[in-house]
Amino acid sequence: MKLTCTKCLLAVLLFTNTALSNAQGYCADGTVYLTENHQVTYDDVVYKQAAAIDEWFFEIPEDVRLRVYHPTDLPAGAKRPLVVLIHGGYFIAGSYLDFDAFAKRFAELGFVAATIDYRLCKRNDCLLANVISPCNISWGSSFMPSAYVAAVDVNDGIRWLQQHAQDYAIDPEKIIVSGHSAGAFTALNVAFLDQTEIQQVIAGAGLPGHDYISEPLDPVEGIQAVVPMAGATLNLDWIEASEIVDDNIAVGVIHGTADGVVGYGATEAIPCCNTYQTIVYGGCSVAGRVQELGGNLFMLSGEGFGHDIGDSLFLEMIMEQVPAFIVKTVICGESISLHSAVERDPPLNVCPDGSEQAPPICDVLPLTPGGITVPVQETPANQLHLALKASPSPLQGNNLRIELESPVSGDYQCFIRDQTGRILMQKPIHLSIGMKQFDLEVPLPAGVYYLNLTDGNDRFGSLKFVKL
C-alpha cells in the first residue's frame, strides 16, 4: 500500500498506553517482538442468510454467523490486521465457536480476530456421515459443493467485516485467513480460488438455477497471508505467481506428518478411509508450490503428529509461531523462507489400524530449529510505557526533538516506521530527562510515521508524528 498524505496538518499524537497504532509488534535484528496485551470483547452477528445445502431445497434460508473479537482499548482511528479463523469438520460438522481461544489470543495481542461460520452439508449422506463416518460422503455431490459454499460464505463474512472496518478498528487491506482441516481447505480457497478455476471441477458453480451453489464466488481483496493448518488444496495450479509474488500473499503451512485425515503430501482425500480416488495436495505439496514460485514461506511440520493441532507440544509451537509469522510478514513486511519442526514422542500412526507409516519430513527447505529465526519475546506483565513528547509538531525539517517526561533515563533502540510497519531507520539513542535532538538521517517524504523506543526488556514507548 502506497503512503499518501494530502497537505498533512495533523499534530503529533502521543500514545502512552499502547504500542504502534497499526502494529502488534516489531522486528529488529532478526527478532520478532510482540508488544501488546489487551482486554478483549466480541460481537456475535448474522452476516448473511442463504439456502441450506440439502436435497429438499427449502426456501427458508439459514442464518450464517460470525464472531468478531477486538481489543477494547485501542486509540481512536487505529487500524489493525484482521485474522480470520475457519473451523474444520469435513463440511458436515463444527462451529465458528471452535476457534474461540485462538481468536481471543490474537485479539489480546492487538489484532482483530473473527471466527466465521459457513453452511454445513445437510444432504442425507452428510447427515448419516456425521453420525457414523465421513468415509461415506459423496465426493462429487456433497463434499465439493459444500467446500464451494464454504468459500462463498467466508468471502462474504470477510467482506462484511471490511464494510464494518471502522466499527472494529480493522485494516481492510491486511487480512490473514487461517483454518484447520476443512477450514484450512477453505482458507486456501479463499486466498487463491476464482470462479473459472472452480468451474473446472463443479461446472454449475456460481451459475443461476443450481440452488445452493448458485451464489457466485466473489473473492475479497486485501488478503496478505494464509495459514492452513492440516489442510490441502485440490489443485496446486490454483496457487498462482500473480497471487504469491505480485499480491505478496505470505503462506504459513502447519501440518503433521502422521495426518490420516488430510495427508501431509499428495494423497487420496481422507487417506485412512480408502474410499476416495481424488488426489489432494497437503502441507508439503503446498509449501513446495510456494517455494517454486519464490514466495514468502513458513512451514511448521509436526513430526509424528496427526490431524489434531490441539496436541499440547504442537499447539504450543503454533500459538507462538503463527503470531510471529504474521508480524514478520504482514506488519514488518519482511521476507521469510523457513521450515521448522516439532517432534512427537512417541509418534502416531497415520491410520488407527497402523496400516500406513508417516512419510519423512518435507524437504522443501532445510530444517531450522526453533522456528522463526530467533525467539519471539512477549511483553512482560510489568512493562513500563515511557511518557514521550516530540517537537516540532508537525515536523517540517529532518530534526526531531524527543522529550522523555518520566524518570527512566537509559540506552534505547529507536525505530522509525511508516504506516505499513516497514522499518525506515534504526539507531541507538541515550535519553535522559529533558529534550533530546534526534537527526532522522533518512529524508522522509510527507506522511504519517511512528517512532518506537525499547530497551529490549521492560521499557517501551511510542509516538506518532506527521512530516509535512
| Domain harbouring 347, CATH code | 3.40.50.1820
Alpha-carbon dihedral sign for residues 266, 269, 272, 275: negative
- Domain residues for the domain of 226 are 31-378
Same domain flag for 108 and 184: yes
Measure the CA–CA gap between 335 and 116, rounded to whole angstroms.
29
Peptide bond into 323 cis (omega under 30): no
Same domain flag for 49 and 170: yes
Peptide bond into 392 cis (omega under 30): yes
- Please report the pLDDT score of residue 74 as a whole number: 85
- Please report the pLDDT score of residue 209 as a whole number: 82
The answer for residues whose C-beta is within 8 angstroms of residue 302's C-beta and 6 or more apart is: 254, 255, 256, 257, 258, 309, 311, 314, 341, 342, 344
Measure the CA–CA gap between 228 and 248, rounded to whole angstroms.
17
Same domain flag for 236 and 331: yes
Measure the CA–CA gap between 442 and 20, rounded to whole angstroms.
20
Residue with cell 509535512: 468
- Please report the pLDDT score of residue 56 as a whole number: 83
Same domain flag for 118 and 267: yes
Same domain flag for 374 and 395: no
Alpha-carbon dihedral sign for residues 191, 197, 201, 207: positive
Instruction: Report yes or no on 408 lying in a domain.
Output: yes
Q: Which amino acid is at 121?
A: C
Instruction: Report yes or no on 294 lying in a domain.
Output: yes
Measure the CA–CA gap between 124 and 56, rounded to whole angstroms.
10
Residue 120 near residue 92 (C-beta atoms within 8 A): yes
Same domain flag for 50 and 137: yes
Last residue of a domain, one of 378, 404, 420: 378
The answer for residues whose C-beta is within 8 angstroms of residue 110's C-beta and 6 or more apart is: 18, 19, 23, 24, 25, 35, 36, 38, 71, 74, 80
Q: What is the pLDDT of residues 10-26, one digit of tens each?
A: 322 223 233 343 457 88
Instruction: Report yes or no on 295 lying in a domain.
Output: yes
Same domain flag for 444 and 298: no
> What is the chain's Cα-based Rg?
24
The span from the first CA to the last CA of the chain, in angstroms, equals 20
Domain with residue 449: its CATH number is: 2.60.40.3080
Last residue of a domain, one of 349, 378, 407: 378
Cα–Cα nearest to 120, from 89, 86, 152, 159: 89
- Please report the pLDDT score of residue 410 as a whole number: 77
162 torsion bin: left (phi>0), alpha (psi -120 to 50), beta (else): alpha
Measure the CA–CA gap between 301 and 299, rounded to whole angstroms.
6
Instruction: Report yes or no on 18 lying in a domain.
Output: no
Same domain flag for 35 and 164: yes
C-alpha distances (whole Å) from 284 to each of 230, 256, 318, 365 are 10, 10, 17, 10
- Please report the pLDDT score of residue 392 as a whole number: 75
Last residue of a domain, one of 351, 378, 405: 378
Instruction: Report yes or no on 229 lying in a domain.
Output: yes
Same domain flag for 422 and 311: no
Cα–Cα nearest to 453, from 26, 7, 3: 26
Instruction: Report yes or no on 130 lying in a domain.
Output: yes
Runs of H (alpha helix) within 376-468:
none
Same domain flag for 405 and 353: no
- Please report the pLDDT score of residue 287 as a whole number: 98
Count of structural domains, the chain: 2
Same domain flag for 43 and 149: yes
Same domain flag for 315 and 413: no
Residues (pLDDT < 70) of the chain are 1-23, 59, 373-386, 393, 404-408, 417-423, 433-439, 441, 448, 456-460, 462, 464
Instruction: Report yes or no on 23 lying in a domain.
Output: no
- Please report the pLDDT score of residue 309 as a whole number: 93
Helix axes 312-326, 100-108, angle to 10 degrees: 40
Instruction: Report yes or no on 10 lying in a domain.
Output: no
